[in-house]
Amino acid sequence: MRMTNKLRAALALAMASWAVAGCGTTAPHTPQKPQTPQATPVVARGVALTEPAASPRPYGAADTAFGLDVLGAWCRADPQANLVLSPSSLASGLGMAYLGARGATAQAMAGVLHLPAAPGGTGQALEAGLQARSDALRGLDGPGVTVDASDQVWADPSLITLHSYLNAVATGYDAGVAHVPLLRDPGQAAQEINEAIAAATHGQIPQLLDPGSLQNIGWILTDALYLKAAWATPFQASQTSPGPFTTASGRQVSAEFMNGGSYATATADGWTAAWLPYRGGRLAMMALLPPANAGSCTMPAAQLGALTAEVTANNATDLMVALPKVSIQDKVSMQSLLTGLGMGVAFTSAADFTGLSPQACCIGLVEQAATLRVGEQGTVASAATAVGMQPAAALVGPHPITFDRPYLMVVTDVTTGEPLIMARVSDPSQP
């Protein structure tokens, strides 16, 4: 079976995320000025970090492996669907949660996220590596390429958020903190967060969080990514023409194919890869076609790495390509997928996020929305991730009783039981 255009696009977005070095961020696009450790020199676990010598590449490789795992699990759960995700954004949101995780919870999350082994995957070295990713991402802007990214911690003002945690996310992700009434007025909090995400994604994702989705959530960790990149060699619109495309179900449909070249290509184990660079040479899309009738949802990270090395080598074959134009978008809750990959403990009361707050319980939601448009001039993509952290159950309390229909009132002498006043309220707007 031929690879669907959506899966190619999703893998290409994963590769683009790898090329931009994963989950670092720039200053948050929020309606409020963040009240963050950014106002003072950032300190990671007591040591100032300015220009770390860490390399972002191990973290880019980790995000690629993580993204392939998520894409494969999602594809197996819904093999006929078009899929698009951002490994970079998802790893960033979960990475901020990981910085507050301890014990078995941190171990499970590190395994699913493919974080580098110690010492690079823990403590100060981890934060330095994440900071290097942030710096690499901020350096991608140039002629023909726009990359905007932001990370943010949203906290209910009634909860404790440890300064050590805020220092860690500020160092690793350049993330600020903003206070929103998550427990008192989750609807208002969702609106403020959605407005910030919409601004950060240039309007591509207007509503990441649905109304009512933030019940019993005390912290939201968000990542937003916007990418607009022009091809190094644009396709000519005059060369775009319809052609047959075989879907995952075997049905034949018509697609608009962009035709051009020549592009570096490579083959391995039946897979064919084409390398499509963007202007400036810092970003590229790799389109991956699986073996005929393979029906493959994804591929091992090592195999993808080998294909990448071959297609970028001097002996790569230059060929014409015919690539469908696509315009796709997805929004999905990642909790079940992440649980299946081994992160289940982070969603239970057994989770340990005491590095974030002594009042933190567990992850309550993981939402991601992503868009991707691939056309003759280049690529426009966006993604946003929200990781919601629940406070301990004792802090949440029962839902309030709302007197939103006719009710009675009785004023009683508690000693004698004498009812001094009784009333029935049928319309509180009237005298």
Contact 256, 323 (CB under 8 A): no
In this structure, of 18-27, 157-166, 185-194, 273-282, the range with the lowest mean pLDDT score is: 18-27
Q: What angle (nearest 5°) sits at the alpha carbon of residue 349, between those of residues 343 and 352?
A: 65
* The pLDDT of residue 218 is above 60: yes
Q: For residue 257, count other CB atoms closer than 10 A to its CB.
A: 19
Residue that wins the pLDDT comparison between 317 and 105 = 105
Q: Can you tell me which residue has the tokens 């449909």?
A: 253
Question: 80: buried, middle or exposed (CB in 10 Å: 19+, 13-18, 0-12)?
Answer: exposed
- Give every CB contact of residue 402 below 8 A, 6+ residues apart in sequence: none
The dihedral built from the CA positions of residue 59, 65, 69 and 72, taken in this order, carries a sign that is positive
d(CA 325, CA 242): 10
How confident is the model at residue 13, as a pLDDT? 44
Q: Please state, for a pLDDT cut of 90, what percent of the chain lies above it.
A: 49
Region 268-291: what's the mean pLDDT? 88
Q: What is the mean pLDDT of the chain?
A: 82
Confidence of residue 402 (pLDDT cuts 50, 70, 90): low
Tell me the CB-side half-sphere exposure of residue 199, using CA atoms within 13 A.
13
Residue 407 pLDDT > 90, yes or no? Answer: no
**Residue 79 — pLDDT band, cuts 50, 70, 90?**
confident
Residues 6+ apart with CB under 8 A from 93: 151, 221, 222, 223, 366, 368, 385, 386, 387
277 Cβ neighbours under 8 A, 6+ residues apart? 231, 232, 283, 284
* pLDDT at site 100: 97
Helix (H) or strand (E) holding 227: strand 219-230
Question: What is the pLDDT at residue 11?
Answer: 42
Supply the pLDDT for residue 396. 53
pLDDT, tens digit, for every residue of 167-207? Answer: 999 999 999 999 999 999 999 999 999 999 999 999 999 99
Buried b (16+ CB within 10 A) or exposed e, 144-176: bbebbbbbbbbbbeebebbebbbbbbbbbbbbb
Can you read off the two tokens belonging to residue 401? 């009783």
- Counting residues of the chain whose pLDDT is more than 70, the rounded percentage is 78
C-alpha distances (whole Å) from 377 to each of 106, 119, 231, 276, 322 are: 43, 43, 6, 12, 15
Helical H segments across 52-182, by residue range: 57-77, 87-98, 103-113, 123-138, 163-173
CB atoms within 10 A of CB 269: 12
Residue with tokens 């697609």: 255
pLDDT for the residue 313: 84
Q: For position 211, what pLDDT does the model report? A: 86
Domains of the chain: 5-230+327-393 (3.30.497.10)
ω into residue 41 within 30 of 0, thus cis?
Answer: no
394 pLDDT tier (thresholds 50, 70, 90): low
- The segment with the largest mean pLDDT, out of 16-30, 199-213, 245-259, is 199-213
Question: What's the chain's length in residues?
Answer: 431
pLDDT at position 412 is 59
pLDDT top residue among 409 and 336: 336
Choice among 44-53, 133-142, 278-287, 386-395 with the minimum mean pLDDT: 44-53
DSSP β-ladder status, 176-179 and 145-155 = parallel
Stated pTM of the model: 0.81
The pLDDT score that the predictor gives to residue 123 is: 75
pLDDT score at 375: 95
Secondary structure class of 396 (helix, strand, coil)? helix
Interatomic CA distance for residues 128 and 122, integer angstroms: 10
Across 176-180, 279-283, 334-338, least confident range: 279-283
Q: What share of the chain is helix, strand, coil (3-state, %, to 5)?
A: 30, 30, 40
Cα–Cα distance for residue pair 97/107, rounded to 1 Å: 13
Query: pLDDT band at 384, cuts 50/70/90?
Result: very high
